[in-house]
Structure 1
Amino acid sequence: MALAVSLGDPAGIGPECIVEAWTKRNEEQLPPFFVVHGADVLAAAAAALGKSLAIRRIDDPGECETVFATALPVLGSQDAPYRPGQPDRTGADLALASLTDATAHARAGTADGVVTCPIAKAQLAEVGFTQPGQTEFLADQCGLTHEDVVMMLAGPSLRTVPLTIHVALADVPRHLSSDLIVRRARIVAAALQRDFGLAEPRIAMTGLNPHAGEQGRFGDEEARIIIPAIERLQNEGITVTGPHPADALFAPHERAGYDAALCMYHDQALIPIKALDFDSGVNVTLGLPIVRTSPDHGTAFGIAGKRVARAFATIAAIRMAGECAARRSAA
């Protein structure tokens, strides 16, 4: 079979990154994938990049593997004008249709997984998108609560998980609880085994405060919330260490000692992954019954269509989705 790729906002860099990924499919040894909707957008994006691109419309995902060697397979007929850098309602309609239908194929088993290109949430909200982001959308589509799924950022050097995401920094302490940490750490440990092939995953937990609280001098969340959660997880047989001071946890010699770092808030997790693996970072949704990855960047409207966007993260997301799907299939 093959992976389903959603187009993302057609005014962003998603279409050109998809084009670039397909043109480099052999040298990057990418698994077969098909794009859901947007054949005209992709053709226009290829022309803007000066690339010769063969596009083949397919009627069934099963055709993808045969077509993929010589043409970019596109399933579905919805389309929009290609206006890089100019997001509009028509493009948002296309982005939502592509995301919805690509997810449906993964859920139905007619695709091995879904790779989602970047969306513009403000534009999607105008056409009925009510979730905070694509991670929550995938959870809803799979019949899960938002607490049942976890966002992990993965690159060649590091994997990180933010335990709180789009929360004001001042509000982070009240959102943290031992139950939240335990629930998400369990999901991470299970996914590292199932999707990443790690028989005994090692998890490092950051502290919330400077120096991990320094025995209560700089805050008591470590003693009240984080340490009890770590002890519960260790009693369940999960290898967890911490709480570690976040300013030291991402040094090279420290990274060798764990497989994923669970961080207390958004920037604590995203700053190191973007500093180390900006061009190859992948957003992986853990806890889903389907495989889902996404390049760890936004729509980048400001550079769309200008021949400067780099497709490394899209290529990495496609490759990682294929690897995860293969491990699930072999299990």
Structure 2
Amino acid sequence: MAFRVGYAGRREVSRVELSRRRTGGDPTGLLHDRSDEASRLDTPPAPVAPTGRGPASAAGGGRTRLNGKAWGNDVDARPAGASVSPFCPVCDATNPRLRYRLTHFSIFRCADCAQVYLWPLPSEEEIRRLFANLYTTGDTMLPELRGYYAYCFDDSPANPLVQTYEHWLAALERHHRPGTILDIGCGTGLFLAVARRRGWVPFGVDESGEATRHARERFGLDVETGDFAAFAAGGRTFDAITMWDIIEHARRPVELLAAVRGSLAPGGVIGLSTPNERSILDLVAGTLYRATGGRVTGPLEKFYIDQHFLYFSPATLEAGLGRAGLGLAELGLESTDLRRLALSLPKRLVLATLFRVGRWMGLDNRLFAVARATA
């Protein structure tokens, strides 16, 4: 695949580049820390309450490597003498490496599959509270995101979210002509309204009753209120299934992807987007965190938030898809559209500069992918 530059700096990652990243190719020299010991945190994490999940794993130490490539300095997070530790939501391994200890949670990397994840996970009650009012009051722990979801109600060509949806749909249509499409987590239905104008036959499912009511009343869409597992039990299949900013919220992502695969019609495709763990934001904020011995966490807490349980890189996203019997048809890097964020002018300029540098380095802060069943 060749590079493809698109909206908000999106570009397709070639197989050659993805392979180069896995095997250690780093022309900038900025992805490798120069010293393990200089940035290693000395304090072990507190013991974690037993979860009853995840198999035992062999011991290991030092910095995490993905096919020989280092990314930061992760600490062996298994408490001495403890039999249970954070388990990886992707592979179930209990072989974590502490990446960052933040104010309300910690970020770990699985030493077995390199997946980055948040621990401890919020309770079911906390999760319901986190997502209850996103589309209405826009409740969020980040002031920059207040008003972010207001764009989900505005179906106009000038809306940056509509523009993003147009580009995502164009990518899907490179791999499948318009047919039936299911949007998991359809929210207010704006994406499906855009898809319908392009010739798709739209369906949606979302757990927010307020959002699905808007989708039905404002756009006249066929959407259901509930979770995807219950919806999938009906046995319907679709030519395309989309999961825009959904996979990072999944407690069991491989099971979710496998269920999505089972709902694809023959030859169907999946579209998904998610934050990119290997981004310029993590590189800069993580360097500051390590340089201060873990005392400065504020910048990291703008990227790692309690609404996101999983953080994928291009390689771990491809690996997770593979575990569910899916293969990449297209992988793209893109940047957050700053027009949707409530930022002061200085912060906006700083982020715009970082995103330009990240684009040059191949460290954009978001991933976009199209996948299909491998067999």
User: Shorter-chain TM-score category?
Assistant: 0.3 to 0.5
Relative to its length, the structure with more strand (as a share) is 2
Relative to its length, the structure with more helix (as a share) is 1
TM-score (normalised: structure 1):
0.35
TM-score (normalised: structure 2):
0.32
Greater RCO, 1 or 2 (C-alpha within 8 Å, sep 6+): 1
